[in-house]
Amino acid sequence: MRYFVAVAEELHFGRAADRLGIAQPPLSRTIAQLEQRLGVALLTRTSRKVSLTEAGAVLLAEGRAILGAIAAAERRTRTVDRPSLVLAAKAGGSSELLAKLLDAYAAEPGAIAVELLLCEAHTRQPLFDGRADVAILHEPYDSTAGLDAEALYSESQYAVLPNSHPLAGAAQLRMADVIDLPELARWPEPDGTYLPGPGVEVHNLTQLFQMIALGRAVAVMPEIVRTGLLEGLVAVPVVDAPKVTTVIAWPPHSRSRAVADLVRVAMGFS
């Protein structure tokens, strides 16, 4: 499965073999055996190009889930003796909520040390590969698919603009006003790639704010960013943007009491 995922991601047997630390021929053979076992073609190969069939695309998604589950199982089993709780959160997010949550949990009887895993984006992945036990994420930007989750609170969204921007003076905006702006910043997809489009590619808040200050980008973001906004930036409410819901999420078969306690404490806030 590792082999197939590598080839499906690289779309190149040589590079995939390299990444796996094996030679190319056994890799070719293994994939061929897999296809035979399943009775389905997973890849279409010409001698110049490799591409996924529909079945291959399905298996790539399923295979990633499998590999994640295996990695998670390994980590969780290994660390069951030394109880620790890893909380994944977005770096630069609402540190106020986080601080309150950590304080409140620490005051609980039986609380254990909480380690923070700050991610640039996409706090889901660490839950699937076992690096984290709980995560704070934000719907609809992050999906809770495959996770158990509880909503903590919702907030409306604001367009963040340089104050030199034509729309900066508006009292309020609508999605239609901003959705087609060519400067709209692009965030990475869960796999780290960017969808094609005109706007600049950013991968963290600092970078984004700098880009906006330079007039190179605009963004639509939750209310929280208004606190501590840089000089020269304005936040204009976008009245019909979907609400952003902050949720606390954990893997469905979590058996940890610490996770349950933390979630209970978090829900006490809402």
Partner DNA sequence: GGCAGCGATACCCGGTTGATATCGATACGG
Partner DNA sequence: CCGTATCGATATCAACCGGGTATCGCTGCC
CB of 87 to DNA, least distance (A): 35
For residue 14, which of 40, 47, 59, 39 has the smallest C-alpha distance?
47
Which lies closer to a second copy via its Cβ, residue 72 or residue 152?
A: 72
Which lies closer to DNA via its Cβ, residue 12 or residue 186?
A: 12
CB of 136 to a second copy, least distance (A): 19
85: left (phi > 0), else alpha (psi -120 to 50), else beta?
Answer: beta
CB of 168 to a second copy, least distance (A): 39
Nearby residues of 26 by Cβ (< 8 Å), 6 or more positions away: none
CB of 60 to a second copy, least distance (A): 10
**The two structure tokens encoding residue 193:** 């790639």
For residue 223, which of 96, 42, 114, 121 has the smallest C-alpha distance?
96
Which lies closer to DNA via its Cβ, residue 66 or residue 104?
A: 66
Which lies closer to DNA via its Cβ, residue 39 or residue 228?
A: 39
**The two structure tokens encoding residue 121:** 């984006």
For residue 220, which of 159, 138, 177 has the smallest C-alpha distance?
159
Which lies closer to DNA via its Cβ, residue 74 or residue 115?
A: 74
Quote the DSSP letter at residue 147.
S
For residue 188, which of 210, 203, 199 has the smallest C-alpha distance?
203
Judged by DSSP in three states, 49 sits in coil
Which lies closer to DNA via its Cβ, residue 77 or residue 172?
A: 77
Residue 6 sits in the site that holds DNA (CB under 7 A): no
* CA–CA dist 121, 210 (Å, integer): 18
Size of the site for DNA (CB under 7 A): 20
Which lies closer to DNA via its Cβ, residue 23 or residue 179?
A: 23
Task: Pick one of a second copy, DNA, none as the site partner of residue 13 (Cβ within 5 to 8 A by kind).
Answer: DNA
CB of 155 to a second copy, least distance (A): 24
CB of 253 to a second copy, least distance (A): 5
Containing 204, the helix (H) or strand (E) segment is none
Site for a second copy, rule CB under 8 A: 1, 38-40, 42, 54-55, 57-59, 61-63, 65-66, 69-70, 72-74, 76-78, 80-81, 143, 145-148, 252-253, 255
Task: Pick one of a second copy, DNA, none as the site partner of residue 69 (Cβ within 5 to 8 A by kind).
Answer: a second copy
Identity of the amino acid at 163 = N
Scan residues 11-40 and list those touching DNA (CB under 7 A): 12-14, 21-26, 28-33
CB of 43 to DNA, least distance (A): 7
Position of tokens 């989750």? 149
Scan residues 48-67 and list those touching DNA (CB under 7 A): 48, 50
* CA–CA dist 87, 123 (Å, integer): 9
**The two structure tokens encoding residue 119:** 């991610």
Quote the DSSP letter at residue 169.
T
Site residues (CB under 7 A) for DNA?
Answer: 12-14, 21-26, 28-33, 45-48, 50
